[in-house]
Amino acid sequence: MLKTVANFDRIGEENAFAVLARANALAAQGRDIISLGIGQPDFRTPEFIVEAAIKALRDGHHGYTAANGILPLREAVAANLHSRYGVEVSPDSVMIMPGGKPTMFMTILMFGEPGAEIMYPDPGFPIYRSMIEYTGATPVPVPIREENGFAFSAEETLKLITPKTRLIIVNSPANPTGGVTPKSEVDKLVAGLEKWPDVAIMSDEIYDHMVYDGEKHVCLLSYPSIRDRLILLNGWSKTYAMTGWRLGYAVYPGKLYDYARKLAVNLHSCVNASAQFAGLAALTGPQDEVWKMIAEFDKRRGVVVAGLNKLPGVSCITPKGAFYAFPNIKATGWKAKELASTLLNETGVVTIGGPDFGILGEGYLRLSYANSTENILKALDRMGEFLATRKAA
Ligand code: PLP
Task: Identify the pLDDT of residue 147.
Answer: 97
Q: Which residues, given as ranges, of the chain have pLDDT below 50?
A: none
Residues 6+ apart with CB under 8 A from 320: 149, 173, 178, 179, 180, 211, 212, 213, 215
Residue 171 Cα: closest atom of ligand 1: 3
Ligand 1 centroid, distance to 86 Cα (angstroms): 24
In this predicted structure, what is the pLDDT of residue 221? Answer: 98
pLDDT given at position 19? 87
The tens digit of pLDDT for each residue in 151-210 reads: 999 999 999 999 999 999 999 999 999 999 999 999 999 999 999 999 999 999 999 999
The Cα 21–Cα 178 span in angstroms is: 24
**Per-residue model confidence (pLDDT) at position 140:** 98
Q: Which atom of ligand 1 is nearest to the CA of 237?
A: 15
SS3 content of the chain, % helix, strand, coil (to 5): 50, 15, 40
Q: Counting every residue, how long is the chain? A: 393
Pocket probe mutation, ligand 1, options 232, 237, 249, 366, max atoms within 8 Å of Cβ:
237
E strands along 44-149, which residues? 94-97, 117-122, 138-143
- In this prediction, residue 392 carries a pLDDT of 81
User: What pLDDT was estimated at residue 14?
Assistant: 85
Does the CB atom of residue 237 touch ligand 1 within 6 A?
yes
**Contact 368 CB / ligand 1 (< 6 Å):** no
Residue 101 Cα to ligand 1 midpoint, Å, equals 6
What residue's CA is closest to ligand 1, atom 5? 175
Reported as a single tens digit per residue, the pLDDT across 240-296 is 999 999 999 999 999 999 999 999 999 999 999 999 999 999 999 999 999 999 999
What domains lie within the chain, and their CATH numbers? 7-44+288-388 (3.90.1150.10), 63-284 (3.40.640.10)
User: What pLDDT sits at residue 16?
Assistant: 83
pTM of the model as a whole? 0.97
Q: Is residue 235 in contact with ligand 1, taking CB distance under 6 Å?
A: yes
> Does ligand 1 lie within 6 Å of residue 358's CB atom?
no
Cβ-contact 91, 241 below 8 angstroms: no
